[in-house]
Amino acid sequence: MNPRLNIVPFVNVDNMMKLVLRHGVEQFITGLAAQIEDDFRRWPSFDKTPRVASHSPEGVIELMPTSDGRTYGFKYVNGHPKNMREGRQTVTAFGVLADVGTGYPVLLSEMTLLTALRTAATSAVAARRLAPRDARCMAIIGNGAQSEFQAIAFRSLLGLRQFRLFDIDAAATRKCMRNLSGFDIDVTPCRSAEEAVSGADIITTVTADKQYATILSDNMVGSGVHINAVGGDCPGKTELHRDILLRSDIFVEYMPQTRIEGEIQQLPVDHPVTELWEVICGTAEGRRDARQITVFDSVGFATEDFSALRYVRSLLAGTGLYDELDMLADPDEPRDLFGMLLRASKGPASDDDRAG
């Protein structure tokens, strides 16, 4: 048995944090955004399917697969809002890359942290084409696990410095302010969502409750605003009032999935939307004028996770920031899997055994 063929690098949470910090959070998000954008440019080369979901009263468990014909990737992810009350993460995830030619996995990685990074990077990639060109201020409504990543991505990729925060839990806002204190960001806590959006050029909604909700009502959104709608990400969960959508231009990642899970589940199936890859490739318009309201109805799509895993893999060489997992049974004789099991019962093979 070749001792290297069955080894798969595994990036655990500790090593993911070290990898991000080695590059710096802002630089990591910037590089990740470039990878996501590059993969959106070759959108037609990907297999695409809405995520495979298993719903329960407590939450959802999903698989998000895709392939570009050379590499296959998938993410396992859950969404359980009740977890927060029990001291657990609402969302956890891990992902795998595999070589299409052999079927062998080439990377296993945590994706709880990586998903937050890729979600923020994707939001900023979209906003560079959809937000007002002179945007200076962003409101973030929902100051939980995603909020800091969103702020840092918009600071890094769009140059924003002013952020207005609101959460129904004031402790979450204080946490967010504390975590952003070292990033040259002007952060203002607000007492209501209405106060937070006042004067904001971009509004990010990233709340966790699994329900139809009105985080933004129609009267709160004036002309020229870009809405980065991140929190509506499963059937029966929305954040925007329907009337906002009716007077906005809506952009999505993959329309068949967003129809099921995004804000547009509130609209007729024939309501027009534009997929983000079309804007990135220049075949569709993004922001046309200063008065246009744009909505990025983001639910997360498998190609973004694929991009994130590829980006992590590209950074690993020479770092030692991974474990080597003996994951694959790979006997000397591929048809003799049972023989490999029998030989293991005798302990380590001698030179004579291997020769015979």
Positions marked active-site? 233
Beta strand 162-166 with 137-141 is: parallel
Question: What is the rounded distance in angstroms from the CA atom of residue 191 to the CA atom of residue 189?
Answer: 7
Beta strand 105-110 with 7-11 is: parallel
Judge whether 227 and 252 are in contact, CB under 8 Å: no
Query: What DSSP state is assigned to residue 203?
Result: E
Which residue matches tokens 């329907």?
242
Nearest CA among 111, 172, 118 for reference residue 141: 172
Which residue matches tokens 């695409």?
48
Burial code (b: 16+ CB inside 10 Å, e: under 16) for 159-180 equals: ebebbbbbbeeeebbebbbebb
Beta strand 7-11 with 323-326 is: antiparallel
Question: What is the rounded distance in angstroms from the CA atom of residue 180 to the CA atom of residue 178?
Answer: 6
Question: What is the rounded distance in angstroms from the CA atom of residue 139 to the CA atom of residue 145?
Answer: 16
Strand partners, 164: 139, 188
